[in-house]
Structure 1
Amino acid sequence: MTVSFELPDDVRKVSDEVRDWSLHQVRPLARESDRAKGLPAGADAVMADCPVDLSPLAIATFGRTHGDWGQEFALSGFTTNYVLGAAVSEAIGYGDSWPLATLRGSIAEKAILALGTPQQQERWVGGFMRGDFRSSAFALTEPHFGSDASQVATTATRTSDGWVIRGSKMYCSLGASADYTVVFATVDKESGRHGIRAFVVTRDTPGYIVTKAREDKLGMRAFETSGLSFDDMHVPTDALLGSEDQDSRGFYAALGTLNTSRPLTAAWAVGIASGSVDYLEQWTRQHGRAFTPRRRRGIDEEVLRMRAGLAAARRLYLRAAALQDKGVDNRREASAAKAYAPQIAEAACRRVAELMGPDGTSERHLVEKWCRDIRIFDIWEGSGQIQRLTISRMLMGSGAGRA
């Protein structure tokens, strides 16, 4: 299938406006958010001043049109929601990453859409879109595993009137503050991945314990990731998403919904790295008189190589997003974007810091912060290693696939 790598004019206009806003209003608060390990003072005013409604990110997250839940958005006329969401993600990341902590949509909604009954979708996702809930969380990772989701050890035991959940989770996005959390647990340890089910749990449920509200992290410090514990937590029967006899295909269908957000993750990484490369160019212009012609030429050549790598990463995430907009299976393309873009972006950020010498590691410049922030993008939404394994299996199983 032929996919254009040129942004539609209306999408480009929105992207340019958001990028300008992020550069001039988001970036000045970047250092404050990093030191505070949370949102900077004035974050609400900055987000309210964004030139566009950031609902495209929510639309791309949910994979549903704006009208499904009775909610109209300012950008409801767009037909390329995933491409729009990806372009806006890169534009925001260009300024800095802290606005990610203000975007309350999560992959929890996608799990509910993949696994839940129509009634559950209406209650939780519909309620979220209508404003009944402010934020949601997704609890999968546990202390003993990261990418291999089949190793879930949290248990859910059937009772006469519901389920009792016992276990713990870590690195749960918004786990301490979310109104509800999608929790993955096993109903039968002997069945391995076939026994894994998903449950929707509200934060005020007895036994829902926040063991650590905010993890101490290398980067992305403004973004809340929490440790949770479930101490004989009783939930009603309808907390189980879907049916009790649902097999492992349901679990992997939920994880498969990450294909809709992996291009956005790749785009955000490209945005951070692009901002870092432009920062290097500005820094070079300010200090260039002290450079030898050979050093200046070497920096210029490296900038060209970094831009070429980021351009390739951009084409990958746009292809994956465009296929999603067309309703075409994009598993391979989404994995390719996620496997390639964060690594290229991280290499660019690291090289920028190296070329700037002592200034590259100084808090006087944001480059060192971006080097720390960018690291997580290779891990989120399925690590790059797992994505490369996924791609190789798909290629070996079905040949070269789509051209």
Structure 2
Amino acid sequence: MAPTDTITSVTPEQLDNLPSSFRYELARTEGDIHTTGPFASLIRPDLDRELEAIQRAPDAVAAHELARQIRSHLNQLSFVYRLPTEIISAIFHLVVQTDMRRSWPVRHATRISIVSRLWRDIATQSCATLWTKISWPVLPISLLELCLSRSRSAPLDIVLHSAIVRRKADILRFLELVVPHIHRWRDFRVIYYDSRVQDILSFLQEASAPAPLLEVLQFNFGPMYDPPRVPLQFLQPFCGITPRLRTINSNVYIPMSSPVYRGLTELHLYYINYPEPDPIRRLLGILELCPLLKSLCITELVLLATIPTDHVSDPIILLRHLQKLYIAEEWDARWMLSHFLPRIAIPTSCRLDIAANARWGDHLYRLIPQRSNFLLNLPDLQSVRALHMHCPWSRDNTSVCGKILTDDPDAFKFTVVYPDEPHGAAGGRDHLP
């Protein structure tokens, strides 16, 4: 009968140690432990400590993972994590949108998304509007692409400002990214002071597509003090399809026959050279399409010299909601007072600003609407509560004649401003003739 074999149990830890023990014994018996290899300078106790540290590493990893799970569980028990997702989302929007600097909202959204896994999920999956305000070149291209992706189908507010842009290629790269999202544009503004502005307009023209969500359109191309000899043109903006457009602020020529002018509440046009025939009548036609207009600013438009023929049958355009009317004519241009203002009716609450040029000896009737021409459709001067006159060139030979028809000292106030007074002394003088 064969002798009984002795069975010895081996633990998993001992199995893990066997390869190291074999390598150690092999190196020791061959005499290599003191001569070669990474452990050549170590003695047995040193190697034992190294081995023990290596064996503890899995335990440390497991402990770290356990600690992470505990912290995550504690976070879920906190007050913030018990709030509904909708409330957390509203708080995120409040943080981002209350910052009025347009360059910062996306940065706030990015910071929110790295606080915790829950916040990241909410910011990236449930808050598309956190990523819709794009101000370039403040945002790098990589972050711009991230915003376009995370904003999904939400309307976009886009600002292109040339203050820091140096290369045309950078601008075209920006446009290549945002133009495919024209159907999502809600607010599009370009402030660009460079001689290559027509390149931007040409790119937009070639890539033009309907903008069904667009509400605000601003083209602010310098120089702002003088219309260019060759007018900047945007001939067919957005294929004429902008059903929600309410504000146009532009010094770029857009044909007056374009459908984009329909239904506006704010229209600001300045330093534009209009080559169209009968431009005054066309401008009045735009106002007919904007019965809810609240603000109208017309600054030194260059129109053809042709003066329209007045027709008795031409209706008066009633602008019931107009709150601000600003008019600044070119030197010697009289078409505003003679052919434009007589055709519109504004409420008594509207603020009327007229900036015009007068020569020495001119009378105020060349600057202020005459009673005989405007009695039917403009508020009479007797209803004016404040009249401000700015005389930038001289403080001499300025006089106004008139009288007050009431005993109320606050019924009428007339101010003449002399901007060249030293230290603001007597800079404004009130006259109640």
The two structures have a TM-score, normalised by structure 2, of: 0.21
The two structures have a TM-score, normalised by structure 1, of: 0.22
Larger RCO: 1 or 2 (CA < 8 Å, sep 6+): 1
Q: Which has the higher helix share?
A: 1
Larger radius of gyration: 2
